[in-house]
Amino acid sequence: MITRDYNWLKETGFDLIYETAEYWSSRVEYNSEKDRYVINHVMPPDEYQFPVNNSVYTNVVAKLNIESAIELGRMLGEDIPEKWSVIAEKMYIPFDKENKYHPEFEGYHLNVTVKQADTILIGYPLMYKMDRQVSGFMISLSLSCYLILIEYLAVYKMERQVGGFMIPLSLW
Catalytic hit among 33, 47, 82, 98: 47
CATH 2.70.98.10 holds for 6-158:
no
pLDDT in tens, 14-39: 999 999 999 999 999 999 999 999 99
The identity of residue 50, as a single letter, is F
The identity of residue 136, as a single letter, is G
pLDDT in tens, 85-144: 999 999 999 999 998 888 889 988 877 776 666 777 777 677 778 776 666 666 666 555
Strand partners of residue 101:
96
Global confidence as pTM? 0.77
Say what the pLDDT of residue 142 is. 57
> Is 22 designated active site?
no
Contact 141, 103 (CB under 8 A): no
